[in-house]
Chain A
Amino acid sequence: MIKISDLQKFYRTEEVETIALNNLSFEVKQGEFVAIMGPSGCGKSTLLNILGLLDDPDGGSYLFNGIEVANFNERKRSDLRKHNIGFVFQSFNLIDELSVYENVELPLIYTKVKASERKERVEAVLDKMQIMHRKNHFPQQLSGGQQQRVAVARAVVNNPKLILADEPTGNLDSSNGNEVMQLLTELNEQGTTIIMVTHSEHDAKYTHRIIRMLDGQTVTENILV
């Protein structure tokens, strides 16, 4: 599903050039659940941004479903993103001014889904995440675990083929964290490919494979399953 080869990314300030990704290559197959681990500053987040088409690489190739997307313009990237990729963040990134229901509905509005269908799909996913009873609440009124469940609901409402999760349990206590990991596992079992950046060896155990990074390069790959 995803194949990156010799991916490069540099950050330049006035005097220093930092190499964030240094000829990075790996492949993720359809239906895989992959963890990316490594110390702070090793390039995990940069990689996730590029995989999520939020940022473009300075060199190398990125094939998404066999299509070269490394040089896509903003509109094409946005289009590909909204139909194929769901995001889950450490800080949830829910929109404070929108209710639970409205937060989950937003991606469907952007993909121009009809109102009647939107209602059906939002309710179905809220049900599945067991937060239907909270649909009219605002994010500040929810616990961290609930907020992250809303974020996951929002990420999957469009039935993306790929979910990118950036330390999804980082702001949660262990029991809420486990719940979220359970949710992701279920989603993966239903066929969604998931790439997750994490610091937690515990969370990594839920995945099929761990890619370990250091200084913008992969150092090892552990196959868990």
Chain B
Amino acid sequence: MLKTNIKLALRHLFKRKFNSLLNIVTLTLGASCCVLIYMYVSYQMNFDTYHKNTERLYRLVFELRLENETEYDKGSSIAMVNTLKSAFPLVEKAVVSINRQSFVIDVEANPKRRFREEGNISFTDAEWFDVFTYSWIEGNPNLLNRPGGVILTKKVAEKYFGAGSATGKMISIVGKQFQVAGVVKDPANTDMKGEMYISLSSFADLNPAVGKDYFTSWGYTMSTHDAFILLKDARQKKEVENKLASLVDQHMGAGYSRLFSFQLMPLKDMHFDMRYAGTISKSLIITLSLIGLVILCIAGINYINLVIAQQTRRSAEIGTRKILGGSAKQIFFQFLIESFLVSVIAIISSLVIIILLIPQINSHIFYDEPLQILSYSRLFLFSFSLLAALTLFAGAYPAYILSRLNVSNALKNNVKSSSSLTTRSLIVIQNVVAQVLIIGTIIVLLQVRFLKNTDKGFDRESVVMIPFEKITDQQKQLMNQRLKGIPGVESFSFCYQSPASDTRRGATVKYDVRAEWEPSPARFSIGDSAYFSTFRIPLKYGRTISPSAARPEYVINETMARSLEPKDFSRVVGKKLMAGDLEGIIVGVSGDFNLRSLRSPIEPVVFMEDDFLITNLAVKLSGSETQASLEQVKTVYEDAFSDQLFTYQFVDERIAKLYQRESLQQKFIWIASAVAIAISSMGLLALISLVTVHRTKEIGVRKVLGASVAQITILLSSELMKLIVVSFVIASPISFYLMSNWLRDFAYRIDIHWWVFALSGGAAALIAFATISFQAIKAAIANPVESLRSE
């Protein structure tokens, strides 16, 4: 019986190649989209899950509770970690890593080579490798407990020394020698960005500006200090947090326990908690998974629709089988087997497509964050569940309907077909999904473009950022003189970061003679007096800071000035300001500009000069002959810094990186809507071809009675087109609601205009009509004699 059923199913598939192909292609598209989303979601869900102690591991995070707002950040101080190690019996281990932005590395190989490492440097000790699980290729971490040791990941080791062993070899950082103590494999998916681990005890050596209390004071609580705690028992988290809270006043100063609240965040939440520098929110993961599920559903719905619509063609067969003794159960299984075969073909095709095309997909779409197959066995398991789901849900329903056809009706072909309510509702559901996704795609696209291209209060045009580690007065002077001589350089500024960056630096402020700290903290923007001209930030009152002022000078932005002096904000000029622990004078008020991403609103900003933090040269180029000007800047740079490596990045590109997350969402929703449109178009195509078959005789009669080709095309198309219109009416409010919610996360956002809906509705109608009309016209121009004879 099973054999006969499989044989019969295969013959059916081959006999109606057009419909089978549509069925398979739509299911393949749906399944591929699902597999793609699954790969991304499972990649994200498996961050740092491979450490042997995951269940007992916590990251130190804190809340800074200010009067008007609460700031969340990860991090701690070296001193606090030491206290946790020594005075907390519940803590098994406590480790810290100081992350540093960038270093220039000289490799003492032959020939001598120079590299810049950015964002992947971590100062720590050997215990780090005890707490977290690494896979060692060679060496061991013991040398990290003394100054002068460094551990590399395989990628970096190969970059420096090629394929051979790296252990024992020397590199030089800021002129200081370090010995490679070992090499570890590159972890697949981890939020620990370290690729170069340097002895914690060498930190002060490489950062001479750091004072002694950096290591002994809790006051140095910074987000660049990544601290992790391994508890003896995961259930004792609360006790440890309580004890930490009780020590805050003693170590940080009286009253600080009201400001700072330190907490232990489970390691498994680290990747998802956006308040504490997480990478992706759980809600986005859920949204993506839902999109995958919805796509699978519409592919399934499409399949159900097609199978049911084909029932008139199959009803005689079903009737005959019943007469010959086939029970409803046997017929049910026969159709289920057909669905199973179609699903198997679709799932295998989608796996082949994904596995073969993943390099292309990555290089064209996911170049920022390539998709990876973490485990083939899990991928296959997932595909197997997809297969089961498709067979059971998309296969069982039509099989049930068909198996219960009344025998004598079935034999007489007297069965209601595609005009049935179910089929129509399914088409509407499918198109609602497609249209919601189209509208979503347009809105996300517009918002991402807006985020990437909008400068609030500054001008990014032709500004490049050139990093260095530190700069002396002499170097500054030399560069000042020579850069002014380059005709293609309009202006330049030594600064910390450009506007629209991910900086979080800031502190509470005390204004003028007021005794209390202001209720809101201020963000710090750091650079020299030319920062405003380089980024075209207008000054509203007063002047910019002067290069050689005796006491610190500040320029504050308009938002801050208005909050300090609501009646006349120009009055702030000349007043004292305590910014963090540094007292200075306000010399000017600048226009508002977005210091951070457009996700956050304009905040109060204090602009100041701080030599310790100045690590970038921002150069505004005139726009013509950019490359030649950059070459000249490079010569100046290399003359000034013998120990640095010239690299540059346009502010544009840096800003685009801020919105990587949104870009990724845009890509997924784009793919999903393309797939949804494709699936529903194929569904319409298959249905219209069935409708024309069912109505062949009617078409013939109408033509004999004098109907024109256009009239018949309209007659055949109008029923399905009405469904598209109904879908649009349902889809519009749903997408308006969903997208308004999505946009709410951005302080700066686009308005949702009516034309977005008009565009998507028009596009959906056009695509649908193009799909339908071909078949409809084909039926309409057919010879009526032929169509009448076929009855």
Contacts and interface: CB of A to CB of B under 8 A. Distances in A.
7 contacts: A52-B323, A54-B322, A89-B411, A93-B316, A95-B321, A98-B4, A102-B7
A83 B323 CA distance: 11
Interface residues of B, number: 23
A17 B322 CA distance: 28
B582 to A, nearest CB: 86
Interface in A104-147: 105-107, 109-111
Q: Which 7 A-B pairs have the closest CB atoms?
A: A82-B325, A110-B325, A97-B11, A107-B324, A93-B320, A54-B407, A54-B408
Interface stretch (B326-334, B393-401, B631-639, B722-730): B326-334
A111 B324 CA distance: 9
B12 interface: yes
B325 A107 contact: yes
Interface string B315-354: 0110111111111101000000000000000000000000
Interface string A85-101: 00101000111111000
B1 interface: yes
A96 B317 CA distance: 8
Contact of B324 (A74, A75, A82): A82
B85 to A, nearest CB: 76
Contacts of B328: 74
A172 to B, nearest CB: 19
Could you tell me the dominant secondary structure of chain B's interface residues? helix
A106 B408 contact: no
Nearest to A158: B325
Contacts of B321: 95, 106, 110
A55 interface: yes
Contacts of A159: none
Given A102-B4, A110-B330, A93 B325 contact: no
Contacts of A102: 4, 7
Nearest to A87: B323
A78 interface: yes
Contacts of B640: none
B196 to A, nearest CB: 66
A44 interface: no
Give the most central of B324, B330, B411: most A CB within 10 Å: B324
B324 A154 contact: yes
Given A95-B317, A109-B4, A75 B327 contact: yes
A105 B5 CA distance: 13
B524 to A, nearest CB: 77
B408 A55 contact: yes
A188 interface: no
A111 B4 CA distance: 14
A93 B15 CA distance: 17
A22 B327 CA distance: 31
Interface in A53-91: 54-55, 74-75, 78, 81-83, 87, 89
B407 A98 contact: no
B8 interface: yes
Nearest to B329: A75
Given A78-B327, A93-B323, A98-B11, 11 more contacts: A54-B322, A54-B407, A54-B408, A89-B411, A93-B319, A93-B411, A96-B317, A97-B317, A102-B4, A102-B7, A110-B330
Contact of B15 (A97, A105, A107): A97
Interface string B3-45: 0100110011001000000000000000000000000000000
Contacts of B11: 97-98
B401 to A, nearest CB: 16
Contacts, number: 62
Contacts of A176: none
Given A49-B408, A102-B4, A109-B1, A97 B12 contact: yes
Nearest to B8: A97
Interface of B: 1, 4, 7-8, 11-12, 15, 316-317, 319-328, 330, 407-408, 411
Contacts of A106: 4, 321, 324, 326
Contacts of B327: 75, 78, 110
B789 to A, nearest CB: 15
A85 B1 CA distance: 21
Interface residues of A, number: 27
A82 B317 CA distance: 16
A55 B326 CA distance: 16
Contacts of B316: 93
Contacts of A95: 8, 317, 320-321
B460 to A, nearest CB: 66
A96 B322 contact: no
Contacts of B317: 95-97
Give the most central of A89, A93, A96, A105: most B CB within 10 Å: A93
B410 to A, nearest CB: 9
Contacts of A111: 325
A110 B326 contact: yes
B445 to A, nearest CB: 47
Contact of B323 (A54, A98, A105): A54
Nearest to A111: B325
A40 to B, nearest CB: 14
Contact of A78 (B4, B322, B408, B411): B322
Contacts of A83: 325
A107 B326 CA distance: 8
Nearest to A52: B323
A44 B325 CA distance: 23
B416 to A, nearest CB: 14
B612 to A, nearest CB: 81
A102 B408 CA distance: 23
A205 to B, nearest CB: 28
Give the most central of A87, A97, A98, A110: most B CB within 10 Å: A97
Nearest to B318: A95
A49 B319 CA distance: 12
Contacts of A158: 325
A138 B325 CA distance: 21
B15 A96 contact: yes
A102 B8 CA distance: 10
Contacts of A74: 328
Contacts of A109: 1, 4
B325 A78 contact: yes
A82 B4 CA distance: 18
Contacts of A81: 323, 325
A182 B330 CA distance: 35
A81 B320 CA distance: 12
A110 B334 CA distance: 12
A75 B326 CA distance: 10
A107 B11 CA distance: 19
A82 B319 CA distance: 13
B433 to A, nearest CB: 34
Nearest to A94: B320
Nearest to B317: A95
Nearest to A85: B323
A109 B325 CA distance: 9
Give the most central of B12, B316, B323, B330: most A CB within 10 Å: B323
Contacts of B15: 96-97
Contacts of A105: 4
B307 to A, nearest CB: 16
A55 B407 CA distance: 8
Contacts of B320: 93-95
A16 to B, nearest CB: 17
A107 B321 CA distance: 8
Contacts of A87: 323-324
Contacts of B7: 102
Contacts of A52: 323
Contacts of A94: 320
Nearest to B316: A93
Nearest to B4: A109
A49 to B, nearest CB: 5
Contacts of A154: 324
Contacts of A78: 322, 325, 327
A105 B321 CA distance: 12
